[in-house]
Amino acid sequence: MIVALLVGGAALAHAIWNITIKRAGTSGAGFLWLTFLVGSIVFAPFGIASLRDVDLTRWLPLILVSGALQVAYFLLLQRAYRLGDVSLVYPLARGTGPLLAVLLAIVILGERPTPIALVGAGVVIAGVVIIGFAGGRAAAVVNRAGVVYGLLVGVVIAAFTLWDASAVTVGGMPPVGLYWGSVLVQMLLLATPALRRVRDTRAIAGTHWRAVLTVGILSPLAYILILLAMQLAPVSTVAPAREVSVVLVGLAGWLIFREPNPVQRLVGAGVVLAGVALLAL
């Protein structure tokens, strides 16, 4: 029950901040840097408190790699949303990531998920593919750039999921402290390009402050909830289960952004929910 609540809360938060980025219509280092600044400030009290008994010499390399992977993820995601529909890019990214995460969790972390959990993971991924390719192969060809970047985002998702999951399970790092440190690294990595164009960054802060606050708070919150869930359940189960957010983003693509082929995308959403139900068993 606790794992289900953590994953459900993370899925809702994750869907909201992704929809917010798409709706804001802005991108670049300035916007991302502002969101990282918000996250590093809001979660600082919790992050610092959780690091009281942590060996900082072990913590530092873990957050450096995590932060670098997250920056790559956000930059790729922004470009993907500029080139493709949110209801195409998001499902492809969120389906590829869990698929690779499940396989790598078995190979690298030595996890042994039950057969029904593997079936559930497969059903989730199948539903994601149905949503992503709504409209047939012709639509996928037209949105080739969105497909390519969606898949690249999925590869990066798998990389940071396994890295951070290993840090909080095998390495024993506190999830809040680990990801707060990662957000600090993200902010530092993008500080130079953001402040080099300080006028543009100020303009983004003035025009898109609601989006900055939403993404800055909900993005770290969603991921911290997932890391907490990974301390209680296998990565090969948690990674696919969080993709219930695909349903929410698919609905938003239809209702908010008026993207095409809503019937097939909603059918795919139902398949995703069936897979999540199998994982819950």
pLDDT band, very low/low/confident/very high, at 142 (cuts 50, 70, 90): low
pLDDT band, very low/low/confident/very high, at 222 (cuts 50, 70, 90): very high
The DSSP annotation for 81-148 comes to: HHHS-HHHHHHHHHHHHHHHHHHHHHHTS-----HHHHHHHHHHHHHHHHHHTTTHHHHHHHTHHHHH
This prediction has a pTM of 0.80
pLDDT band, very low/low/confident/very high, at 137 (cuts 50, 70, 90): low
When pLDDT is averaged across residues 56-67 and rounded to a whole number, the result is: 94
Residue 78 has pLDDT above 80, yes or no: yes
When pLDDT is averaged across residues 9-13 and rounded to a whole number, the result is: 90
Predicted confidence (pLDDT) per residue in 14-36, tens digit: 889 888 887 877 767 899 999 99
When pLDDT is averaged across residues 30-45 and rounded to a whole number, the result is: 95
- CA-to-CA distance for 249 and 149, rounded, in angstroms? 17
Average pLDDT over the chain, rounded to whole? 83
pLDDT band, very low/low/confident/very high, at 141 (cuts 50, 70, 90): low
Which among 205, 87, 182 has a CA at the least distance from the CA of 140?
87
Q: Where are the domains of the chain?
A: 2-280
Task: Give the rounded percent of residues in the chain with a pLDDT score beyond 90.
Answer: 34
Residue 250 has pLDDT above 80, yes or no: no
Q: Distance of alpha carbon 71 from its chain centroid, rounded?
A: 12
